[in-house]
Structure 1
Amino acid sequence: MAENENNAEAREPAPACPVMGSMSIHTHLALSFIAVAIVAMGIASIFYYYKARWHITQALRRDLLLVAQTAATQLDGDMHERIGAGTGADDPDFQAMRNQLIEIKKANSWPHDICTFRLLPSAAGAYSAPQSAEYVVTTQPESYAGKSYIASDEMRMAYEFGEARATNLYRDEQGRWISAYAPIMNSRGEVAGLLAVDYDAHDYYAAVSQEILQMGVIALGVLALCGLLAIYSAKRVSAPVESLTHAVETMAAGDYDTSLLSCRSIAELNRLAESFERMRMALKERLADLHSARTELLRSERLSAVGRLAHTIVHDLKNPMQVIKVANAVLAEKSKEELHPQMISRIASSIRRMADMTGDILDFCRDELRLETEMADLADFIEDEMENFRLSLKGSPVRLTVEPGQSALVEIDRNRLARAFGNLIANAAEALAGRPDGRIDIQYGTRDSLAFLRIIDNGPGIPEAIRHNLFESFVTHGKANGTGLGTSICKRVVEAHGGTIDFTTETNRGTAFEIALPLATQESHNGARPLLEQRG
């Protein structure tokens, strides 16, 4: 039966979840929001880049088509047909058309070359699907007249359908370009050639880069705004979670009175807070019921134990009462003076045993020991008690010795500590019964601001079966007498003095009990320091 309320079994805490590089929820949320914002801005940037590129390409194509169509209407298609392959600058038609192209370039402030082409027939001899284009006239000083290259799809469609066409961005051996082609019509309404207007992609990419730069500035501003919003949102989410964490830690520490504030801004966290409050109140009520039930159980167990103890006390009191009865009868019948001291000693010993047993049951029944303390010198206390112990061991082969040590001033309840001291010596003497070499050594001294008292015997040692619960009530082994409360009450008395009691034992080699008590403080001894004295 677990009698001491302080001897509750300790529970090991659940192992914590392993974490690597743990961060606060506030940091997690803020980084998550920022990561989402960065990904979103990246996707938006890519989309915006291609969209801006498409818009710029379409705008350039419209401008090129407008220039090409306008210029083509100003050219004489019949003159273009008269210009032969490889015609030089000496030809008046070539020179006249080149001058027209130069004027068109100046009028439109066009930075790049403007030229005309003649599409060559295919091998089948039809113009419906020409395979190559031949330069006719260009605005460049160097003449490309007569040179040819593979015609593009846009050139073929412009030639075939008689409509202006523009390319997307393309690459050739001279770089990247966007070109527009417009048909040059003769007086018969037929396509006499194509006017080509080119645009250098370098300028195109400069325009796109300008758009991207503007977009990047906007993106940085949006990202900064998202970061601020992420921090604000993370605080709003993490603050209730941190409050909940604090409440859980407080409750884990045993405080069930701290309530958790609601979080009305976030519905899910508000429901979590309300659920936690209901759990806290339910736990508080159940713990109160459990404490009440435990107190009632302890009271019932104590009453049951008192009943069993009373039966034991009544049985054990028969022997000392019989001793007193016989001793009194002998004193009444005998008048020899030499018998009186022996009878009186037996009567005193029996009375002491009866007082100890009744004192044990009274201490056991009390929930809390109330000490009546006084200042005492440890060495004097031991010497006073040794007289009683030697008298009780008179006629026994057990030898009782004291090893003088450094004494100290302690604050003790002399009667209770003497009974605890005597109980340990009585247990040692009973364990040594029948051994001619039995010895009990008493040692005392000081260490680390404590006074210690040791009782050492060379007996058989404490049985292993009761070593782990030796200081519990009703624990005894192989004793003919006793209540089973001795060591339990010794522990309560020592701890009531603010001290500790422990033991070491070894089978067939003996047992050593040690009582450690705090030295008297300045407050307890009228401002004096603890008294240390060497006894010899």
Structure 2
Amino acid sequence: MTVLFVMVAVVLVYLPSIASFRLNWLNDRLAAAQVAALVLDAAPEGSLSEDLELRLLEGVGAKAIAVRGGGRRRLLAVDDVPPEVSKTVDLRQPSWLGLTREALETLFVPTRMPIRVIGPGMGVDFVEMIFDERPLRRAMLDFSRDILLLSIVVAGITASLLYFALQWVIVRPVQRLSRNIGAFASRPEDAARVIRPTGRSDEIGLAEEALAQMEATLANELRQKRRLAELGLAVSKINHELRNILTTAHLLTERLDRVQDDTVQRVAPRLVATLNRASAFCEATLAYGRATEHLPQRSRFALKPVAEDLADLTGLAPEAAIEFSVQIPDDLMVDADREQLSRILVNLIRNAVQALRQAGATDGPPRITVRAVRLGHEVQVSVQDNGPGIPERVRENIFGVFQHSSHAGGTGLGLAIAAELVNLHGGTIALADTPIGACFRFTIPDCEPTGEDA
């Protein structure tokens, strides 16, 4: 491409150059012709032999020379003066466009007949000469060949320098980037494969810095995910065995009901409730540890009875005396998986119960309110409590596993499970802004538009 571009530039320069070369060549011949004519004019009449005049003409390369000045015209010619010429070239008022056109005609449309050239002279009106055009064309071809060879050399040198410059400045750094991307992709957890920026200040340097930051972040994330996966596998195994132990302990505690002892009767219910919470925690951990949740088996059903069936969850904290209310229209239908929607509500309500049991209410008696409303082709459900709320520092990653817990010793798995189930339904879940307490709001879109309005 560089050679091509250089050759295009040479062509643009060549046209005025060849026209200038032709003009200079003709002017030189006119000057030589005028000198020959002046020699003849200065010599006494008859003192120059015909042989000397012929040699003067041959030295100039002309068949005839005429000089006009001082009111007279001096002619120097050979015996066989051409009776006619193919064209006349007047150089007294040349134009570059005309000179370029005539130069191209000389190169590509040569003529066998002589041409007449008229040009200005020194101390005379003009100088006129007739000569064969073939020597001029040969000189122009030699000049064009030299220009072509020089252009090829210049283009080759320029292309080589440009190639090595691009190879060093752009190609090699880009190849380094691509090799690093391939090497990092094979083992993204290896921190040694993160690219080291060279400190360049151009776009490639910016790309190196951005790639290094991205690879470092990704490597750290993958290492963290791997550790969490290993931890999750270990926790799942422990919980599986712990759940079996708790089941046995639960069966044994049921026999305490038969013991007629006040202390036993007072402690037994609390022990049973504690074992139930431990079993539920193990089940939640194992549920989240499954590879995937099954896709929702959707059906249309009334939402209010599902929410009302969860009122017993407030029994997880009987000492808190939590009020539970459901503000859902009787005819509100939802298109969802009944079991998964119930799990979403269970996790959100249990989260609210645990928060109220631990920190209490901030406005009146403890209460949990479940609301729902239809908005076009989706149902919006909110679970709100009047507890202490969620601190700002944990709001950003509140739905991440192992990121937040609403009570001491918890892991936040309930919110992570609820978010996963909502996403399976194609909905969204978020922590809404409320003046008191916490309000989790999620949407369940219809599988197909129903046209039902809120």
- Give the shorter-chain TM-score range: 0.5 to 0.7
2:185 equivalent in structure 1? 287
CA distance in 1, matches of 2:244, 2:386: 30
**For 1:339-375, what per-residue CA distance to the aligned partner results, in whole angstroms no more than 9, with x for missing partners?**
9xxx99996x778645532332222322322245231
Secondary structure in 1 aligned to 2:293?
A: coil
Identity of aligned residues (%): 17
2:332 equivalent in structure 1? 407
**For 1:188-215, what per-residue CA distance to the aligned partner results, in whole angstroms no more than 9, with x for missing partners?**
xxxxxxxxxxxxxx95415787645413
Does the 8 Å contact 2:332/2:374 carry over to 1?
Answer: yes
The change in CA–CA distance for 1:74 and 1:295 in structure 2 (over 3 A counts) is: closer
Identify the match of residue 31 of structure 2 among 18, 34, 57. Answer: 57
1:259 equivalent in structure 2? none
Q: Quick check: 1:302 aligned with 2:245?
A: no
CA distance in 2, matches of 1:455, 1:531: 26
CA distance in 2, matches of 1:49, 1:448: 87
CA distance in 2, matches of 1:211, 1:61: 25
CA distance in 2, matches of 1:374, 1:351: 34
Secondary structure in 1 aligned to 2:92?
A: helix
Identify the match of residue 456 of structure 1 among 384, 388, 391. Answer: 384
User: 1:352-363 counterparts in 2 under 5 A?
Assistant: 353-354=277-278, 356-363=280-287
User: Which protein has greater RCO, CA pairs closer than 8 Å, 6+ apart?
Assistant: 1
Q: Quick check: 1:519 aligned with 2:446?
A: yes
Normalised by the length of structure 2, the TM-score is 0.55
Kindly indicate which of the two structures has a greater share of residues assigned to helix: 2
Does the 8 Å contact 1:402/1:441 carry over to 2?
Answer: yes
CA distance in 2, matches of 1:430, 1:281: 52
Unaligned runs of 5+ in 2: 48-63, 76-88, 110-143, 191-218
Query: What is the number of equivalent residue pairs in this alignment?
Result: 337
2:84 equivalent in structure 1? none
Secondary structure in 2 aligned to 1:432?
A: helix
The change in CA–CA distance for 1:354 and 1:370 in structure 2 (over 3 A counts) is: farther
Q: Quick check: 1:205 aligned with 2:125?
A: no
Query: Please, which moves more after superposition, 205-214 or 270-279?
Result: 270-279
Q: Quick check: 1:495 aligned with 2:446?
A: no
Does the 8 Å contact 2:284/2:414 carry over to 1?
Answer: yes
Identify the match of residue 424 of structure 1 among 328, 348, 351. Answer: 348
User: 1:385-404 counterparts in 2 under 5 A?
Assistant: 385-389=309-313, 396-404=320-328
CA distance in 2, matches of 1:365, 1:274: 46
- 1:425 Cα deviation after fit: 1.2
1:215 equivalent in structure 2? 103
Does the 8 Å contact 1:41/1:219 carry over to 2?
Answer: no
- 1:462 Cα deviation after fit: 0.8
Q: Quick check: 1:68 aligned with 2:3?
A: no
The change in CA–CA distance for 1:325 and 1:482 in structure 2 (over 3 A counts) is: farther
1:193 equivalent in structure 2? none
- 1:473 Cα deviation after fit: 2.1
- 1:73 Cα deviation after fit: 0.9
CA distance in 1, matches of 2:291, 2:269: 36
The change in CA–CA distance for 1:418 and 1:478 in structure 2 (over 3 A counts) is: closer
Query: Please, which moves more after superposition, 302-311 or 320-329?
Result: 320-329
- Look up the equivalent residue of 2:103 and give its one-letter code: M
- Look up the equivalent residue of 1:205 and give its one-letter code: R
The change in CA–CA distance for 1:359 and 1:59 in structure 2 (over 3 A counts) is: farther
CA distance in 2, matches of 1:220, 1:350: 107
Unaligned runs of 5+ in 1: 1-25, 76-107, 115-137, 141-178, 181-201, 238-265, 522-528
The change in CA–CA distance for 1:322 and 1:494 in structure 2 (over 3 A counts) is: same
Q: CA RMSD in A?
A: 5.3
- 1:466 Cα deviation after fit: 1.9
Does the 8 Å contact 2:296/2:425 carry over to 1?
Answer: no
The change in CA–CA distance for 1:447 and 1:278 in structure 2 (over 3 A counts) is: same
CA distance in 1, matches of 2:108, 2:382: 79
CA distance in 1, matches of 2:65, 2:108: 37
The change in CA–CA distance for 1:203 and 1:481 in structure 2 (over 3 A counts) is: closer
Secondary structure in 2 aligned to 1:475?
A: coil
The change in CA–CA distance for 1:487 and 1:49 in structure 2 (over 3 A counts) is: farther
CA distance in 1, matches of 2:303, 2:324: 16
- 1:287 Cα deviation after fit: 0.8
CA distance in 2, matches of 1:333, 1:41: 121
